[in-house]
């Protein structure tokens, strides 16, 4: 069941109705959330539900054990057990084939024909998200940041809460568990905002991302035959597509949770308005970047170590972040490029050099940041690193074909093209106006007629492009 389907709308309406009928009965409400979350997940593949249950089960008991144990060595043992189970599952299902394939290629290059068999396993939806979420729980208990919950329904609900189960935001137990442990009262403002956020998310995903995808797929699949302008346009459109796809998903997830009286963390803060690369990573996939900050970067020493170790820490974070996205060299390269982009600002900070605050410098930094981010997306989207390099190489080819003729190759439907252009303008205008608020509809005209007209137009656009078949990009991670 995808968020962008009519079935999800009915499912959410059903859960919402029953959930608030059970107001003041917290246990029943949480049980409902757990059952509906498992139902939601089982519609993808009920077999993989066992992995979620196993992961929840292991971390629930390990959390208790760590808390009850006084000895540090034992605590460490339990923590490693949790890491072993969760990362082991991730390793087998997500990375085993990738490493085996790469190893076989390496052996081949030394003329050693030892062909290690791959497992060809299906990647369970959302595995990277929920394993990171449960891991954060045990790590936080280990460091004494939180106390374990004794209620297994609450914990299992925390791991499998349907709005954010398959693609985040990766929640932290210290924010999530207290919310479901306490009785919830229906909050009109929160629910209204939740609905608006769902509408905004659907608009991003269904109207913009899915329509951009049509052009992006055509350009990337056939990149050797295109000129520089089209290839650059393809890369820009992919940057917009991936943002709208993932931010759209996050908005629907956060909005759905708000309808149930639960607040999830903000996952995006207008990343394409970032001043520089460091700012970009404070605004893009916030729940993952803060996860890596808190559980990888800081434990490694963060910036409180020597310069070379600090550089190593940044390198580790970006490489693991790349690998987290998928078992492919292209994702590793994407992470590596972002590491490279971090080097100039890190070096400047070492030598205490500050760039001037002039508008021109800021503009140059902004343009170079966005350009670099777009180039990095080419690696993210391409099938292989060679494809990505060739794509970038072809970007400097200037065709002598007239612009109109080139555009005609792509304009299958003029109305759709106009809708995309206007929608992208609307997206960035609304986000700019709402200035760091959670979503583009946070600030809307006070005039009810104008406000409802905006909602109606967006709803009609969503209805036109709603298609329960277009999966979210981040589901594959």
Q: Is 319 in the site for other proteins (CB under 8 A)?
A: no
**Closest CB to other proteins among residues 4, 313:** 4
Asked if the peptide bond before residue 51 counts as cis, ω within 30 degrees of 0, the response is no
Sign of CA dihedral 390, 391, 395, 399: positive
Q: How far apart are CA 80 and CA 123, in angstroms?
A: 24
Q: Which stretch binds other proteins (CB under 8 A): 68-76, 144-152, 169-177, 465-473?
A: 465-473
How many H-runs (helices) and E-runs (strands) does the chain carry? 21, 0
- The correct pick among 73, 182, 188, 405 for binding other proteins (CB under 8 A) is 188
Part in contact with other proteins (CB under 8 A); list of ranges 29-37, 176-184, 271-279, 462-470: 462-470
State the binding string over 93-122 for other proteins (x if CB under 8 A, else -). ------------------------------
Gap between the Cα atoms of 435 and 472, Å rounded: 26
Q: Does 6 bind other proteins (CB under 8 A)?
A: yes
Region 384-423 residues binding other proteins, contact defined as CB under 8 A: 415
70 versus 469: smaller Cβ distance to other proteins: 469
Identify which of residues 20 and 152 has a Cβ nearer to other proteins in the complex. 20
Question: Applying CB under 8 A, which part among 76-84, 265-273, 322-330, 449-457 lies near other proteins?
Answer: 449-457
Selected from 49, 83, 100, 191, the binder of other proteins by CB under 8 A is: 191
Euclidean distance between CA atoms 92 and 90, whole angstroms: 6
For the chain, how far is it from start to end, CA to CA, in angstroms? Answer: 17
Selected binder of other proteins within 303, 386, 411, 464 (CB under 8 A) = 464
Determine, following the binding rule CB under 8 A, whether residue 458 of this chain makes contact with other proteins. Answer: no
Residues 39-48: contacts with CB under 8 Å, at least 24 apart = 40/1, 40/11, 40/162, 40/165, 41/125, 41/126, 41/160, 41/162, 41/165, 41/166, 43/1, 44/1, 44/125, 44/166, 45/122, 45/124, 45/125, 48/124, 48/125, 48/127
Cα 234 to chain centroid distance, Å, stands at: 21
Taking the C-alpha atoms of residue 87 and residue 396, their distance in angstroms, rounded to an integer, is 42
Q: What b/e readout covers 379-390, taking b as 16+ CB neighbours within 10 angstroms?
A: bbbbeeeebbee
**Of the listed pieces 54-62, 183-191, 230-238, 346-354, which binds other proteins according to CB under 8 A?**
183-191
Q: How far is the CB of 460 from other proteins (least distance, A)?
A: 6
In whole angstroms, how close is the CB of 197 to other proteins at the nearest point?
14
Q: For other proteins, which stretch binds (CB under 8 A), given 32-40, 189-197, 343-351, 393-401?
A: 189-197
Nearer to other proteins, 213 or 327 (CB): 213
Residue 261 Cβ vs other proteins, minimum distance, rounded to whole Å: 11
CA 77 to chain centre: 31
Nearest to 206, CA basis, from 380, 8, 10, 379: 8
Q: Toward other proteins, which CB reaches closer, 305 or 421?
A: 421
Q: How far apart are CA 21 and CA 321, in angstroms?
A: 42
Where does 204-308 show beta strands of DSSP type E? none
Q: Which is nearer to other proteins, 19 or 220 (CB)?
A: 19
Report DSSP letters for 265-292, one per residue: ----S-GGG-SSHHHHHHHSSHHHHHHH
Nearer to other proteins, 261 or 335 (CB): 261
The verdict on 452 binding other proteins (CB under 8 A) reads: yes
CB of 186 to other proteins, least distance (A): 5
Q: Give the C-alpha separation, 346 to 311, whole Å.
A: 8
At 267, list the tokens.
């996952």
Q: Which of 7, 112, 367, 425 binds other proteins (CB under 8 A)?
A: 7
Q: Which of 46, 186, 371, 403 binds other proteins (CB under 8 A)?
A: 186
| Site map 11..30 versus other proteins, x via CB under 8 A | ---------x----------
Near other proteins by CB under 8 A: residue from 125, 466, 474, 477: 466
CB of 39 to other proteins, least distance (A): 15
DSSP one-letter string for 155-199:
HHHHHH-HHHHTT-----HHHHHHHHHS-----HHHHHHHHHHHH
463 lies in the site for other proteins, by CB under 8 A: yes
Catalytic residue among 226, 310, 325, 439, which? 325
Q: Establish whether 226 is a catalytic residue.
A: no
Q: Using the rule CB under 8 A, which residue among 25, 192, 282, 307 binds other proteins?
A: 192
For other proteins, the closer CB: 114 or 460: 460
Taking the CB of residue 188, how many other CB atoms lie within 10 A of it?
A: 7
Q: Which positions are catalytic?
A: 325
Q: Which residues bind other proteins (CB under 8 A)?
A: 6-7, 20, 186, 188, 191-192, 195, 415, 452, 455-456, 459-460, 463-469
């Amino acid at each position: 069941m995808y968020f962008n389907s009519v079935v999800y709308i009915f499912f959410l309406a059903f859960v919402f109705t029953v959930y608030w009928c059970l107001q003041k009965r917290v246990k029943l409400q949480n049980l409902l959330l757990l059952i509906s979350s498992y139902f939601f997940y089982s519609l993808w593949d009920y077999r993989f539900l066992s992995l979620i249950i196993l992961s929840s089960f292991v971390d629930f008991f390990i959390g208790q054990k760590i808390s009850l144990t006084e000895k540090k060595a034992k605590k460490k043992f339990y923590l490693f057990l949790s890491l072993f189970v969760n990362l082991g599952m991730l390793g087998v299902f997500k990375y085993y084939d990738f490493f085996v394939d790469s190893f076989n290629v390496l052996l081949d290059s030394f003329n050693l024909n030892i062909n290690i068999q791959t497992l060809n396993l299906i990647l369970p939806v959302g595995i990277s998200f929920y394993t990171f979420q449960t891991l954060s729980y045990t790590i936080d208990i280990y460091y004494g940041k939180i106390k374990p919950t004794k209620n297994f329904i609450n914990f299992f609900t925390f791991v499998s809460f349907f709005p954010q189960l398959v693609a985040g935001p990766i929640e932290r137990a210290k924010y999530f568990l207290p919310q479901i442990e306490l009785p919830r009262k229906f909050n009109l403002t929160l629910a209204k905002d939740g609905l608006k956020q769902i509408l905004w998310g659907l608009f991003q995903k269904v109207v913009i991302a899915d329509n951009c995808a049509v052009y992006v797929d055509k350009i990337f699949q056939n990149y050797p035959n295109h000129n520089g302008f089209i290839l650059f346009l393809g890369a820009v459109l992919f940057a917009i597509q991936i943002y709208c796809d993932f931010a759209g998903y996050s908005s629907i997830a956060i909005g759905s949770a708000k309808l149930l009286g639960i607040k999830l963390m903000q996952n995006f803060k207008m990343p394409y308005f970032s001043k520089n690369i460091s700012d970009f990573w404070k605004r893009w996939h916030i729940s993952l970047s803060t996860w890596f900050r808190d559980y990888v970067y800081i434990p490694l020493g963060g910036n409180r170590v020597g310069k070379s170790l600090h550089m190593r820490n940044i390198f580790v974070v970006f490489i693991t972040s790349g690998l987290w996205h998928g078992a492919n060299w292209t994702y590793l390269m994407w992470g590596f490029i972002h590491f490279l982009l971090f080097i100039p600002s890190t070096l400047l900070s070492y030598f205490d050099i500050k760039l001037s605050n002039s508008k021109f410098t800021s503009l140059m930094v902004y343009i170079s940041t966005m350009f670099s981010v777009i180039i990095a997306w080419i690696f993210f989207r391409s099938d292989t690193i060679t494809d990505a390099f060739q794509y970038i190489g072809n970007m400097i080819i200037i065709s002598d074909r007239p612009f109109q003729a080139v555009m005609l190759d792509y304009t299958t439907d003029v109305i759709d093209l106009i809708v995309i252009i206007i929608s992208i303008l609307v997206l960035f205008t609304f986000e700019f106006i709402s200035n760091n608020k959670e979503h583009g509809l946070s600030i809307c005209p006070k005039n009810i007629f104008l406000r409802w007209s905006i909602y109606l137009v967006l709803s009609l656009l969503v209805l036109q492009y709603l298609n329960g078949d277009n999966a979210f990009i981040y589901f594959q991670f």
